[in-house]
Structure 1
Amino acid sequence: MNIDWAALGSVFGVSLVATVGLVGLFTLGIIGLSKSAAPAQGTTATAGATGTTATATTGSVALARTGAYVCFALCLAAVSYGIYMIVA
């Protein structure tokens, strides 16, 4: 029995990169949703002296939520492609 170590190493490397990338994307999605869920402790919606209001932070919340949805969509696409490759 011969083992093709180069092919085994190649499969291991691609699997490792894909796994770390997929987990990283999912983590970014969770972080994006958690930032949009509630403000951090100690922060307020208005910053009196600077004149910023809640509308200034609404844009960043919408951006974080949109980024989270994009990350989840990419995760879904990667998993769907993997299932397609297994079935085909």
Structure 2
Amino acid sequence: MKIDWAALGSVFGVSLVVTVALVTLFTLGIAGLSRREAAATRGERAVAATTGAYLCFALCAAAVAYGIWLIVG
């Protein structure tokens, strides 16, 4: 049995980058929602923070859906 170390390293690298990107996007979404809540307590509107948070969550959902599509298809 021969292991293709280059392919294994490539899969590891891509998995690491995608994982860090998804965690970062989700963290930015949570931060955006917390900024919205902080602005609401001060009586301000935080449309940009809310929009950015929802965009981050949508990108996370799209990445997860794409991963499931890759596995199933």
Same-fold status (TM-score > 0.5): yes
Larger fraction in helix: 2
- Unpaired runs of 5+ residues, structure 1, are 40-44, 46-53
- Corresponding residue for 2:8? 8
- Unpaired runs of 5+ residues, structure 2, are none
The counterpart of 1:62, out of the listed 41, 47, 55, is 47
TM-score by length of 1: 0.76
Q: Which has the higher contact order (CA 8 A, sep 6+)?
A: 1
- Corresponding residue for 2:35? 35
- Structure with greater Cα Rg: 1
List structure 1 segments (4+ residues) > 6 angstroms apart after TM superposition.
Answer: none
Query: What is the total number of aligned residue pairs between the two structures?
Result: 72
The one-letter code sitting in structure 2 at the alignment partner of 1:8 is L
TM-score by length of 2: 0.91
Q: Distance in 2 between matches of 1:38 and 1:10?
A: 42
